[in-house]
Amino acid sequence: MTRIMEEKLPGERLSTAQINILPLLAGLVELAVKGKKLPEGSGVFILWHATRNARIEEASDDDEVVIQRVPTNKYEMERMPTWRGKIGEIRAWLSGDFQQIDFSIEEAKDGR
């Protein structure tokens, strides 16, 4: 499983460069998945810490996060597939293991 993860602490925003580059990376990963070079579930994601300034390795299982799957088109970044929950619910997924995550489409908001 290949997951490229951009991690943001509360109050951080995506830079213009990230808005331009992350969808390009997502497109490359999608091509590799379609070409069967990478497994399904691979992708580019943004992890927004919702409750405190704690990186993944420092976060407790109760810390709330928002994960968004980056689209292959930067103009679709305002409506990214989104999952909301607690770190403890997705520890296996964050470690690269297969875990079903149900993403839904939401309007992106500053600070997530």
Segment 18-28, tens digit of pLDDT: 999 999 999 99
Domain containing residue 97: 3-105
- pLDDT digit string, tens, across residues 77-103: 888 999 999 999 998 898 888 888 888
Alpha helix segments (H runs only) across 1-112:
16-34, 91-94
Torsions phi, psi of 65, nearest 5? -140, 160
The answer to whether residue 67 sits within a structural domain is: yes
Digit-coded pLDDT (tens) for 12-70 = 999 999 999 999 999 999 999 999 999 988 999 999 998 888 888 888 999 999 999 99
Residue 20 falls within a domain, yes or no? yes
Q: Assign 86 to helix, strand or coil.
A: strand
Nearest to 41 by CA among 74, 75, 81: 81
**Cα–Cα–Cα angle for 44, 45, 48, nearest 5°?**
160
How many structural domains compose the chain? Answer: 1
